[in-house]
């Protein structure tokens, strides 16, 4: 067995003279190995990733511990020497290539910069071309003369990876490299990374919040919670038989399109830096916690060769269960609730109208959940916006219970406006920061149902309970709430109007998986109890599998396929749907285990 090329021991990063953010991070990575570092927002995974390069965000500092790359110490080395090591010994691919690439440098110069920084003065175009072609980018000189903004998101990320591997460092740290890319592009990037790692035998640290993506590429997985690694082991055992209850919770939260199942979220919210408990940080949310868990922080114990767990009751952690998805059975009414026919929507730009949706027809029956699926730019959000009057369609018809709906909100009757409510993607933007939860939730009842302020306020407690929030939340302001709590308030606000159709525009894509699972479970529950129809817009097929009855797949503004969720996911007909299904990552915990994602079709 080869010697590890990256050794991290007792790494501790904290706020200068303040609380510790990352505690006792320790792991090793061998050449050709991929370590997946998984955790939800605030777990400290990016802090660890950056510390591997001897870097911390302003205000933070590496307090103690060691990072050793190919025999050279990173921690304790002065900034000048570190600069010489970064790129040559270890390099970093940040999350968003659109902001991390210098927009005023040509593609060829982006690569040359890296080579020049490490004294390779002779960098002819051929050398740059070779580096670009390594990540399947065209390397010819006309391509080298282009600027980053002329590339697609996927190409930008390839370029960032090309720059990172230019000097062939033994270790590369990838920080959420595919977050923000659509599934097909993500699959291609993942394939690229896997190929590079096979060909040049690099050690990779792959940081992500998405366990399904990590499982498809990593050979080992380290799960972080509240600044500590809570489980570390080979990919397969960690995914199929996690021993830490947090890992189990994460796995149960990941939606899966191969085996659609009921998602189970993790109760409670993650603890913040500075108010971590004395004992196990996960104990307050853990179903198998005992008083001893709150006494002291458990040690990372070895339970098998190479499998470490930080839990005193790891033997009791159950294996992941696959609860099949609860089907909502009801008699479909003969008449659809909402019909959209031959909808065409355009955006006006300087260079003429851009068609966002063309000839889109769909129906939603009362109580049904229809998913609109597509990549970014497929027009799915525009269709939702047309339905709720935020965009004026150029042609086509929208009807509610057989009656024509005008395109402008003020031409719709109060009852029509009441019947359709929307929940937006970004929970940080959808609540007015100056209005209390009570005010936000009670307002639609006043403006759309004509209730008095007192009557509307009296309903708030019941609405909050319906979205599983405690009554005391009513007096809070959005700034005091977490993302998941805000999204629940936004749902409660929509419910206050008493709608028969809820339009959900990517409502879970800004949330952590465990929170996403809880919100999806809530939506399923609401459908059952209120007989609510849902039009669910998403790019995530796993989410579709766990919530929708029927699916419409959109490609470039056109519906390319539609059918029941089972038919679309198991036997897709159109090439585009096949590509989407193949590219979606899956954990398949009861099947063959994690599978590598496929970039179906043309590799570019």
Beta carbon of residue 363, minimum distance to another protein (angstroms, whole number): 21
Beta carbon of residue 448, minimum distance to another protein (angstroms, whole number): 6
Q: Per-residue DSSP letters for 66-89?
A: EEEETTEE-TT--HHHHHHHBTTT
Token output for 355 = 């068609």
Among 2, 432, 564, 570, binds another protein (CB under 8 A): 432
| Stretch of residues binding another protein (CB under 8 A), selected from 309-317, 396-404, 425-433, 529-537 | 425-433
Among 16, 73, 429, 455, binds another protein (CB under 8 A): 429
In sequence order, the β-bridge partners of residue 554 are 559
Q: Per-residue DSSP letters for 211-249?
A: HHHHHHH-SEEEEEETTEEEEEEEHHHHHHS--SHHHHH
Residue 263 vs 504, nearer CB to another protein: 504
DSSP class of residue 26 equals E
Q: What is the length of the chain?
A: 604
Beta carbon of residue 98, minimum distance to another protein (angstroms, whole number): 17
| Stretch of residues binding another protein (CB under 8 A), selected from 30-38, 112-120, 204-212, 384-392 | 384-392
* Chain centroid offset of residue 592 CA: 24
Query: 527: closest CA among 339, 365, 323, 403?
Result: 365
How far apart, in whole angstroms, are the C-alpha atoms of residue 203 and residue 29? 6
Residue 21 vs 111, nearer CB to another protein: 21
Largest Cα–Cα distance of the chain, in whole Å?
77
| Stretch of residues binding another protein (CB under 8 A), selected from 188-196, 215-223, 321-329, 434-442 | 434-442
Beta carbon of residue 56, minimum distance to another protein (angstroms, whole number): 17
* Residue partners of 429: CB distance under 8 A and separation at least 6: none
Q: Could you say whether residue 58 binds another protein (CB under 8 A)? A: no
Q: Strand, coil or helix: what is 570?
A: helix
How far apart, in whole angstroms, are the C-alpha atoms of residue 8 and residue 500? 55
| Stretch of residues binding another protein (CB under 8 A), selected from 176-184, 296-304, 393-401, 412-420 | 412-420
Q: What are φ and ψ of residue 503, in 5° steps?
A: -95, 115
Token output for 122 = 């002779």
| Stretch of residues binding another protein (CB under 8 A), selected from 231-239, 278-286, 414-422, 467-475 | 414-422
Q: Where are the alpha helices (DSSP H) in 74-210?
A: 79-85, 97-100, 107-117, 125-134, 141-144, 153-165, 183-200
Beta carbon of residue 489, minimum distance to another protein (angstroms, whole number): 11
Among 97, 393, 444, 594, binds another protein (CB under 8 A): 444
Are the C-beta atoms of residues 369 and 326 closer than 8 Å to each other?
A: no
How far apart, in whole angstroms, are the C-alpha atoms of residue 542 and residue 341? 27
Among 53, 281, 448, 589, binds another protein (CB under 8 A): 448
Beta carbon of residue 42, minimum distance to another protein (angstroms, whole number): 9
Sign of CA dihedral 395, 399, 404, 408: negative
| Stretch of residues binding another protein (CB under 8 A), selected from 116-124, 345-353, 433-441, 515-523 | 433-441
Beta carbon of residue 566, minimum distance to another protein (angstroms, whole number): 32
For 72, half-sphere exposure in the C-beta direction (CA atoms, 13 angstrom radius) is 18
Q: Could you say whether residue 443 binds another protein (CB under 8 A)? A: yes
Q: Could you say whether residue 534 binds another protein (CB under 8 A)? A: no
Residue 155 vs 430, nearer CB to another protein: 430
Are the C-beta atoms of residues 115 and 194 closer than 8 Å to each other?
A: no
Beta carbon of residue 424, minimum distance to another protein (angstroms, whole number): 4
Residue 124 vs 433, nearer CB to another protein: 433
Q: Could you say whether residue 409 binds another protein (CB under 8 A)? A: yes
Residue 161 vs 383, nearer CB to another protein: 383
Beta carbon of residue 288, minimum distance to another protein (angstroms, whole number): 30
Among 16, 319, 428, 450, binds another protein (CB under 8 A): 428
Residue 10 vs 18, nearer CB to another protein: 18
- CB 7: neighbour CB atoms within 10 A? 17
Q: Strand, coil or helix: what is 23?
A: strand
Q: Could you say whether residue 535 binds another protein (CB under 8 A)? A: no
How far apart, in whole angstroms, are the C-alpha atoms of residue 569 and residue 581? 7
* Residue partners of 82: CB distance under 8 A and separation at least 6: 53, 54, 55, 74
* Chain centroid offset of residue 65 CA: 31
Q: Could you say whether residue 99 binds another protein (CB under 8 A)? A: no
| Stretch of residues binding another protein (CB under 8 A), selected from 114-122, 139-147, 234-242, 420-428 | 420-428
Q: Strand ranges (DSSP E) for 312-426?
A: 338-349, 352-364, 369-373, 395-400, 403-404, 420-423
Q: Could you say whether residue 301 binds another protein (CB under 8 A)? A: no
Q: Could you say whether residue 147 binds another protein (CB under 8 A)? A: no
Q: Could you say whether residue 388 binds another protein (CB under 8 A)? A: yes
Residues 472-511 close enough to bind another protein by CB under 8 A: 477-479, 490, 493, 497
Q: Could you say whether residue 59 binds another protein (CB under 8 A)? A: no
Instruction: Report how far apart, in Å, the C-alpha atoms of 442 and of each of 435, 482, 489 are.
Output: 11, 20, 11
Q: Could you say whether residue 389 binds another protein (CB under 8 A)? A: yes
Residue 321 vs 432, nearer CB to another protein: 432
Among 72, 296, 414, 570, binds another protein (CB under 8 A): 414
Q: Could you say whether residue 417 binds another protein (CB under 8 A)? A: yes
The number of helices, as runs of H, and strands, as runs of E, in the chain is: 20, 22
Residue 376 vs 414, nearer CB to another protein: 414
Footprint on this chain of another protein (rule: CB under 8 A): 388-390, 409-410, 412, 414, 417, 421-422, 424, 426, 428-435, 440, 443-444, 447-448, 477-479, 490, 493, 497
């Amino acid at each position: 067995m080869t010697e590890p090329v990256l050794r991290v021991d007792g790494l501790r990063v904290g706020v200068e003279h303040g609380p510790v953010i990352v505690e006792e991070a320790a792991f090793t990575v061998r050449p050709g190995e991929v370590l997946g570092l998984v955790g939800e927002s605030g777990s400290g995974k990016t802090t660890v990733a950056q510390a591997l390069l001897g870097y911390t965000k302003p205000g933070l500092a590496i307090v103690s511990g060691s990072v050793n790359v190919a025999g050279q110490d990173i921690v304790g080395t002065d900034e000048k020497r570190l600069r010489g090591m970064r790129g040559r010994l270890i390099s970093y691919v940040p999350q968003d290539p659109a902001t991390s690439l210098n927009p005023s440098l040509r593609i060829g110069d982006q690569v040359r910069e890296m080579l020049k920084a490490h004294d390779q003065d002779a960098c002819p175009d051929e050398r740059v071309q070779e580096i670009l072609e390594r990540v399947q980018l065209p390397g010819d000189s006309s391509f080298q003369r282009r600027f980053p903004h002329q590339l697609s998101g996927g190409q930008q990320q390839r370029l960032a990876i090309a720059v990172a591997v230019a000097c062939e460092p033994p270790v590369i740290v990838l920080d959420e490299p595919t977050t923000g890319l659509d599934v097909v592009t993500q699959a291609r990037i993942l394939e690229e990374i896997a190929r590079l790692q096979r060909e040049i035998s690099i050690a990779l640290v792959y940081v992500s919040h998405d366990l399904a993506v990590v499982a498809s590429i990593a050979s080992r997985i380290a799960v972080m919670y509240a600044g500590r690694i809570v489980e570390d082991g080979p990919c397969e055992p960690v995914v199929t038989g996690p021993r830490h209850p947090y890992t189990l919770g994460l796995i149960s939260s990941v939606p899966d399109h191969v085996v659609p199942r009921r998602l189970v979220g993790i109760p409670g919210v993650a603890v913040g830096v500075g108010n971590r408990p004395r004992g196990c940080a996960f104990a307050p949310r853990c179903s198998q916690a005992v008083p001893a868990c709150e006494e002291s922080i458990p040690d990372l114990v070895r339970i098998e060769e190479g499998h470490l767990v930080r839990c005193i009751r790891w033997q009791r952690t159950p294996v992941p269960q696959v609860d099949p998805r609860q089907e909502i059975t009801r008699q479909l009414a003969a008449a659809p609730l909402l019909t959209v026919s031959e909808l065409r929507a355009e955006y006006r730009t300087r260079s003429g109208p851009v068609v966002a949706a063309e000839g889109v027809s769909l129906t939603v029956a009362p109580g049904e959940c229809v998913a609109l699926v597509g990549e970014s730019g497929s027009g799915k959000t525009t269709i939702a916006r047309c339905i709720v009057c935020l965009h004026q369609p150029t042609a086509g018809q929208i009807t509610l219970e057989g009656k024509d709906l005008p395109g402008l909100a003020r031409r719709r009757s109060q009852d029509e406006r009441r019947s359709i409510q929307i929940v937006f993607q970004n929970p940080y933007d959808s609540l007015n920061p100056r209005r209390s939860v009570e005010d936000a939730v009670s307002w639609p009842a006043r403006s759309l149902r004509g209730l008095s302020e007192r009557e509307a306020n009296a309903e708030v407690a019941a609405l909050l309970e319906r979205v599983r929030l405690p009554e005391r939340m009513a007096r809070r302001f959005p700034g005091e709430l977490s993302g998941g709590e805000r999204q629940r308030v936004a749902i409660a606000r929509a419910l206050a109007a008493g709608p028969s159709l809820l339009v959900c525009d990517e409502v879970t894509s800004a949330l952590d998986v465990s929170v996403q699972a809880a919100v999806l479970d809530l939506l399923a529950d609401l459908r059952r109890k209120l007989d609510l129809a849902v039009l669910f817009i998403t790019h995530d097929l796993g989410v579709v599998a766990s919530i929708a009855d029927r699916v419409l797949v959109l490609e470039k503004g056109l519906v390319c396929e539609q059918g029941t969720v089972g038919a679309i996911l198991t036997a897709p007909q159109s090439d585009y749907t096949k590509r989407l299904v193949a590219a979606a990552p899956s954990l398949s915990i009861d099947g063959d285990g994690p599978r590598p994602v496929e970039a179906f079709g043309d590799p570019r």
